[in-house]
Structure 1
Amino acid sequence: MASGEDDALIWTRPEPGTRRPKFTRDQIASTALAVADAEGFAAVSMRRIASELGAGTMTLYYYVRTKDELIALMDDAIMNQVLIPADELPSHWYDALAMVATRTWEVLVHHSWALHSLQNAQAGPNAMRHFEQSLAAIADTGLAAPDKFALLALVDDYVRGNALRAAEITSDGDIESAVRFGQSQLATGQFPQTRELFGGRDPRDVFPELLGDMSDHDRFRHGLLILLDGVAHRMNLSLPD
């Protein structure tokens, strides 16, 4: 690969080589995450991060050339939070994959804005480490490479889809409008199964009963274990003792 192509990725360039650089990429990324967590991703800009660090905007460009590179640093910082210390990863594939999936879900829910805003971020070294750790979790299953990839993709789809649902924020006005629309549609008689589900009651009263008293975290774990039980049965894998 030509050097010009290498330079297109922030990960292929060393950090500024002064003996005492004023800032590090980790500092820049953590500052950007703090702003996004507090105010949303729209508040993140090179000017804002420079201000938070007490630097001029042009100084920040010495460390990070573009907004895309800043986004890449943010994504990699999040992926670092997903990683599990190697000595804490269980030996059984089921428990290990459950731990990786749960940690990933917890981090994504904590940084829920990232589910949309960092979709196109350049994959960095911590994303590679996360994938490596996920493969390590199922290394002893005896699955062929395509089946390993399919299993990880299946779990990742569940994790991200559930995190998106958990992160949904609906205003009271939106809920009221949805209830009115739903009730008007039920009145047409075209949705008998849905009408039976609600039993003529206000959906706002029924949904809590349907969801039960589990927290979002417990509901995620419940679904994850059902998924892994199904995987074990379908792929003829052992379950933990």
Structure 2
Amino acid sequence: MATVDDSALIWTRPEPGTRRPKFTREQIASTALAIADAEGFAAVSMRRIAHELGAGTMTLYYYVRTKDELIALMDDAIMSEALIPAEEFPTHWYDALAAVAERTWDVLMRHPWALRSLQNAPIGPNAMRHFEQSLAALADTGLAAPAKFALVTAVDDYVHGNVFRVAEFRATATPPEDRGAAEAAARFAETQYATGEFPHLQALFGGRVPHDGFPRLIGDTSERDRFRQGLVMLLDGMAHRMGLGLPER
């Protein structure tokens, strides 16, 4: 009968047991995150991490066996940043779930590359603690398990989707250096508007190219405030649908 090798998951193995280990998994993960934040995930390698730590590459394999294990450590390090200290955890379900969402948004905005590059990382202990906090927010609501799961995942989907969209917008927000390309885009939009097939787009962007029309729609509202506005609408709607009370303001 085949048995499952628990050691396949890095979380099931203790840190190297020498009396004074030179490095820790936390150091390795932190270094990998710093590289990815500065240069992109593609720059992360065991050799590069070893260079930053002043170690031999093979030395690091004593702590982390594979690239997949490194990805697991990086993802769980990010999830540790998303945890709310117990003494700061709000008592009302609405405020608590909003706090989890906002903190998660802040963390992912610091590491937006992670949504793509770490999406297949296995669930680690801090990811479980993060989910536990969301469920703890709903502990006194009286909701059944399926309703709790639906509410938590709806908020989680909104957070991840918003971060992904903001990151994509940032990547394309810089006007092209080639003025000819910008003018070509404007002419294309005008041509499409003239067909009469896009009356709602034309009205929304004031007849401008979408890239040029966004500032008028967004105004001076920050990315975080726009996220918060959408979160409030989501939570208010879910509260109404599920019969949950709102906090007193």
- Which bin holds the TM-score, normalised by the shorter protein? over 0.9
Call closer, same or farther: CA 1:65–1:3 in 2, change over 3 Å: farther
Match of 1:218 in 2: 225
Higher RCO (C-alpha under 8 Å, 6+ residues apart): 1
Tell whether the 8 Å contact from 2:15 to 2:25 is kept in structure 1 after alignment: yes
Call closer, same or farther: CA 1:184–1:161 in 2, change over 3 Å: same
Match of 2:176 in 1: 173
Higher deviation after alignment, 186-195 or 223-232: 186-195
Q: CA RMSD in A?
A: 1.9
Shift of 1:192: 1.8
Shift of 1:178: 4.9
Tell whether the 8 Å contact from 1:29 to 1:77 is kept in structure 2 after alignment: yes
Matches of 1:4 and 1:201, distance apart in 2: 59
Shift of 1:203: 4.0
Tell whether the 8 Å contact from 1:179 to 1:203 is kept in structure 2 after alignment: no
The TM-score, its normalising length taken from structure 2, stands at: 0.91
Identity across the alignment (%): 73
1:40-69 Cα offsets, whole Å, 9 max, x none, are 101000110011111111111010000000
Match of 2:32 in 1: 32
Matches of 1:6 and 1:65, distance apart in 2: 14
Match of 1:209 in 2: 216
Match of 2:194 in 1: 187
- For 2:245, the aligned partner's letter is S
Higher deviation after alignment, 121-130 or 169-178: 169-178
Match of 2:204 in 1: 197
Gaps of 5+ in 1: none
Call closer, same or farther: CA 1:2–1:33 in 2, change over 3 Å: farther
Say how many residue pairs are matched.
241
Shift of 1:9: 0.3
Is 1:133 equivalent to 2:133 in the alignment?
Answer: yes
Matches of 1:68 and 1:30, distance apart in 2: 16
The TM-score, its normalising length taken from structure 1, stands at: 0.94
- For 1:106, the aligned partner's letter is D
Call closer, same or farther: CA 1:199–1:216 in 2, change over 3 Å: closer
